[in-house]
Amino acid sequence: MVAGQPSIFARIAAGEIPCQKVFENDLLLAFLDINPLSEGHTLLITKRAVERVEDLTPEEAAEIGRVLPVLVRKILAVTGAAGCNILQNNGRVAGQEVPHVHFHIIPRREGDGLGFRWKPQRRSTEELEALAARIRAQ
């Protein structure tokens, strides 16, 4: 994205670029991902141009929490998928390509071959306690 230019999702929210809409209200919009990882792969975005989760207003965050389960129920009912991953890439380092808050809803089926490369690290209880205390105190 060119600095200062609206992101592709801001342009979709503004109605300048078409999308396959599945849900809309005053704060949020949901539409099908153009390059789905599975059938029904949907993106839930804020209408307001905001890049990261930590920049959401409490109202937007609450609305996302309210709408996500509703959308998941609809998507699973229509696709017949057994479950889904809800994924939010927050920041470039986390794989965020479009700098506009969006939650992926990715329907999952047995044997679909999708997955993550998690590499869990070992930490002592003392290390975890100290880190949790720092985050609580922040």
Q: Which residues are catalytic?
A: 102
Q: Does 33 contact ligand AMP by CB under 6 A?
A: yes
Among 35, 121, 125, 138, binds ligand AMP (CB under 6 A): 35
Distant-in-sequence, close-in-space partners of 127: CB < 8 Å, separation ≥ 6: none
Distant-in-sequence, close-in-space partners of 1: CB < 8 Å, separation ≥ 6: 7, 8, 99
CB of 65 vs ligand AMP, minimal distance in Å: 19
CB of 129 vs ligand AMP, minimal distance in Å: 33
Among 1, 34, 82, 131, binds ligand AMP (CB under 6 A): 34
Nearest to 43 by CA among 107, 117, 92: 107
